[in-house]
Structure 1
Amino acid sequence: MAASSIYVHIPFCEQICFYCDFNKFYIKNQPVDKYVEVLNEEMKRVISMDEKPSIETIYIGGGTPTALNEQQLKQVLDDVNTLVRNPEQVREFTVEVNPGEADRDKLKMMRAAGVNRLSIGVQSFNDKLLEKIGRGHSAQEAVETIDLAKSVGFENISIDLMFGLPEQTMEIWKDTISKTLELDVPHISAYSLKIEEKTMFYNWYRQGKIQPLPEDTEAEMYEVLVSGLHDAGYTAYEISNFSKYGMDSEHNKTYWKNNEYYGFGAGAHGYLDGTRYANIGPLPHYIKAIENGESAVKESHEVPKTEMMEEEMFMGLRMKEGVRADRFESKFQTSYYTIFPEVIHDLLERELLYDSGDSLHLTKNGKLLGNEVFEQFLLVY
């Protein structure tokens, strides 16, 4: 199956969040114009101008794409559009937005360039908590950015939330959910905190300065979220993603369905022709490689069939639709019951999975113990 999605990484930020382990750099004094130039060169090398692909989804992420000024961001969007056989056939074109970093002119420019979806990094509507996690905006700025985006004409808006944060109480979390629902956006992504290496939170955790919330509290926060959003008309179409009818993130489904996609930019990941790859992360090294006519890829891994089947299971189970039997058999010419008989029967007996007849799905308890379930599908040969 040919790749029909593009991910572009913009690794610049006005402020580095304490929990973030993505490839990113403070934008001040960085060669941003040069990065935009070599990014375009990388994209043109990978995608032949004579054989432009039929692209259905585009996602500009980071870092913070809106840390770029209006002209720089417009150049990136225009360059991406030149790669696509027919930009009008792109169903979903998303740009990540930081509250307070996109004024009316920048938002109008994005709409004119074909962007039809925004993913706004809110995380919380509690100012003290925002400060504690290193966000550079206030709750009010988040509200103002969402209202401004609506006024410019954006209807497909997603906001990101985080739970399980140090010092985040259930009262703070319920208040954030309540304020989110007041904004009436069609899509919400909500993620629990994971303390990753190479972050400020990791350093503080090792020093004993912060402690993650107990797993039971985190699980309760998730249940409160699911219940509150369900009552408000949202569907949990994936473990961490909730949408109103017809407003699922089509680009993110590329990942969960284990489909291939182009990945461009410093530190970007991609999946093409059965090979997963990661680009060079350090900015000077990435720029130098492109300027020297070299590949931006730092490392690659040809995915064997066994690994593809593993990924099909633990990625597919994240979605409400689950892992479809016909899709699995079409891709691998065998049944998941043939490949994972003992694992599936064990998880069914433990009521962490259920079989709807044509698909396997996580149960309510299975969602709370998702990582434990997913680990069971790692084959050992």
Structure 2
Amino acid sequence: MTQAAYIHIPFCEHICHYCDFNKVFLKGQPVDEYLTALEAEMKITMAKTPTKGLNSIFVGGGTPTALSVKQLERLCKIIQDHLPFNNGLEYTFEANPGDLTADKLKVLFDSGVNRLSFGVQSFNDELLKKIGRTHKAEDVFRSVEAAKKVGFHNISIDLIYSLPGQTLEDFNQTLDTSFSLGTTHFSGYSLIIEPKTIFYQLHHKGVLQLPDEDEEAAMYETLMNQMEKHGYHQYEISNFSKKGFESRHNLTYWDNDYYYGFGAGAHSYINGVRRSNYGPLKKYMTPIENNQLPIMDEIILSEKEMWEEEMFLGLRKIKGVSINHFIGKFGNSPLVIFEDVINQLVNKDLIHVRDGCISLTKKGLFLGNEVFQAFLLN
């Protein structure tokens, strides 16, 4: 049963230098027509693959909060009208610091949104400018304070480390500032240079000065140590929370459970089938006008592919992959299917098998990609 939904809003008021998500500049875009298409996609999908109720909804982008107050109201009503909410639903909106007015916050809160995820990235104003962000550190404080005043208590902050010209000292200062906000959740990601981004072009030209691997590893270790020191437990490679505030939506992905994906460029996983929607707005909206889903790619997973995904997604979690859960899901043990791989990785001290789970070691946390790659069977 599908219990999660991701909704993509591809509009941004500016484009960050590192971002490779499906997005377009907001100005002059057919936002209202897009919302109409989004509503139609939900209707078609829920008629074809219904669910009794959702435990999590995540609205991301792009920048969902770049919409006007009226458009936000309409988006929230579309979601309420067509997606079934379970009691205790985790309902998240991504937001940029500085663009959340009191009116927008009230619309979200009154519509049942109970979690906000702010793209902060750094508290160094010079670094923020260098990576293409338009907000400043002071905007974060104002936005978080305004959100708490409206009634939001579950607030997450995204941080990026290993930024161009960033030092370990600077990252420590960003962490210290972050903890002063008293939020419930953090995501901390190392910068990845993705194709089709401004940073990719600069890196290709050799003019993007990045911290080396040792500096990056030191920042990650600092991130883990400081989070633990301040009472945030690490439950996934890049995610930390106060107890009870783990991201239910992201755990859907790492638990390899089914989820809906609505909107341009969105991905879904339903009944063993992975789908991706068309990204360009016109290509996304045209099939929907003909009462068809805007599917660009569709992959029906083989049993072997399901085994692989269960391992390399589940190993992102600190608790790892439950052996009994794997057996209950697939009728076979990962210790049998992946016997040679597991033995090799245990000998390298990258994973361990204990307490009924297969999980990363401390060393494995730093070399996760090597571990995940090993579980792709030939």
**Corresponding residue for residue 313 of structure 1:** 311
Find out whether 1:125 has 2:123 as its counterpart. Answer: yes
Tell me which of 241, 248, 260 is aligned to 1:243. Answer: 241
Using the TM superposition, give the Cα deviation of residue 107 of structure 1 relative to its aligned residue in structure 2, in angstroms: 0.6
* 1:321 CA drift (Å): 1.6
CA–CA distance in structure 2, aligned partners of residues 37 and 283 of structure 1: 12
Q: Deviations over 1:310-348 (max 9, x none)?
A: 111111111122100111001110111111111101111
**Shift, 1:181, TM fit:** 0.6
Looking at structure 2, the residues matched to 351 and 289 of structure 1 have their Cα atoms a distance apart, in angstroms, of 50
Residue from 323, 326, 330 that aligns with 2:324: 326
8 Å contact kept, 2:54–2:86: no
Q: Secondary structure at the match of 1:91?
A: strand
Which deviates more, 111-120 or 352-361? Answer: 352-361
Deviations along 1:19-53, whole A, 9 cap, x unmatched?
Answer: 00000000000011111111101111111299553
Give the secondary-structure state (helix, strand or coil) at the position aligned to 1:60: strand
Q: Which amino acid aligns with 1:117?
A: R
Aligned-partner Cα distance in 2 for 1:139–1:69:
24
Residue 166 of structure 2 is matched in structure 1 by: 168
What SS does structure 1 have at the residue aligned with 2:276?
strand
Quick one: which amino acid aligns to residue 300 of structure 1? E
Amino acid at match of 1:56: N
Which residue identity does 1:315 align to in structure 2? L
**CA distance in structure 2 between the partners assigned to 1:52 and 1:303 by the alignment:** 21
**Cα displacement string for residues 175-210 of structure 1 (whole angstroms, at most 9, x for unaligned residues):** 000000111101000000110001000111111110
When structure 1 is superposed on structure 2, of 72-81 and 263-272 the one drifting more is 72-81
- Once residues 51 and 286 of structure 1 are traced to their aligned partners in structure 2, the CA distance between those partners, rounded to angstroms, is 22
Distance change in 2, residues 1:50/1:334 (3 Å) = closer
Determine helix, strand or coil for the equivalent of 2:274: strand
- Provide the rounded CA distance (Å) in 2 between the counterparts of 1:51 and 1:340: 35
Which residue is equivalent to 2:365? 367
Gapped regions of structure 2 (runs ≥ 5):
none
1:240-287 CA-to-partner distances (Å, cap 9, x unmatched) read: 000011110001000000011000000101111111011010012212
Contact 1:116 1:154 (C-alpha < 8 Å) held by counterparts: yes
Corresponding residue number in structure 2 for 1:141: 139
- Which stretch of structure 1 is more off in the superposition, 312-321 or 232-241? 312-321
Q: Deviations over 1:134-154 (max 9, x none)?
A: 011111101111111111110
2:291 maps to 1:293: yes
Aligned residue pairs: how many? 378
Contact 2:53-2:86 at 8 Å conserved across structures: no
More divergent stretch after superposition (283-292 vs 261-270): 283-292
Which residue of structure 2 lines up, in the alignment, with residue 212 of structure 1?
Answer: 210
Checking the alignment, whether the CA contact within 8 Å between 1:280 and 1:297 is kept in structure 2 is: yes
Are positions 1:16 and 2:26 aligned together? no
Match of 2:110? Answer: 112
Give distance in 2, aligned partners of 1:53 and 1:190.
34
Letter in 2 for 1:60: V
Q: Hey, what's the Cα distance between the residues in 2 that align with 1:287 and 1:212?
A: 39
2:99 to 98, 101, 119: 101
Q: Structure 2 counterpart of 1:84, which letter?
A: L
Q: Which residue of 1 aligns with 2:227?
A: 229
CA contact (8 A) 2:161 2:216 kept: yes
Q: Could you tell me which residue of structure 2 aligns to residue 184 of structure 1?
A: 182
- Whole-Å separation in 1 of the counterparts to 2:40 and 2:83: 15
What is the distance in 2 between the residues matched to 1:253 and 1:292? Answer: 35
Tell me the amino acid that sits aligned with residue 124 of structure 1: S
User: What is residue 358 of structure 1 aligned with on the other side?
Assistant: 356
What amino acid sits opposite 2:153 in the alignment? E
- 2: CA distance between counterparts of 1:118 and 1:364? 30
Identity of aligned residues (%): 47
The change in CA–CA distance for 1:49 and 1:271 in structure 2 (over 3 A counts) is closer
- The two structures have a TM-score, normalised by structure 2, of 0.98
Name the SS for the 1:56 alignment partner. strand
Distance in 2 (alpha carbons) for counterparts of 1:289 and 1:24? 19
Preserved contact between residue 44 and residue 291 of structure 2 (Cα < 8 Å): no
Pick from 265, 268, 275 the counterpart of residue 267 of structure 1.
Answer: 265
TM-score normalized by the length of structure 1: 0.97
Comparing 223-232 with 69-78, greater Cα deviation is found at 69-78
Comparing 305-314 and 122-131, the one that deviates more: 305-314
Q: Which residue of 1 aligns with 2:27?
A: 28
**Alignment match, 1:65:** 64
Q: Does 1:77 align with 2:70?
A: no
Q: Give the letter aligned to residue 40 of structure 1.
A: E
- Structure 1 residue runs without a partner (length 5+): none
Q: Any conservation in 2 of the 1:118–1:157 contact (CA below 8 Å)?
A: yes
2:239 partner amino acid: N
CA contact (8 A) 1:163 1:190 kept: yes
Range with greater deviation from structure 2 (87-96 or 311-320): 87-96
1:350 alignment partner AA = K
* Secondary structure of the structure 2 residue equivalent to 1:149: helix
CA contact (8 A) 1:58 1:90 kept: no
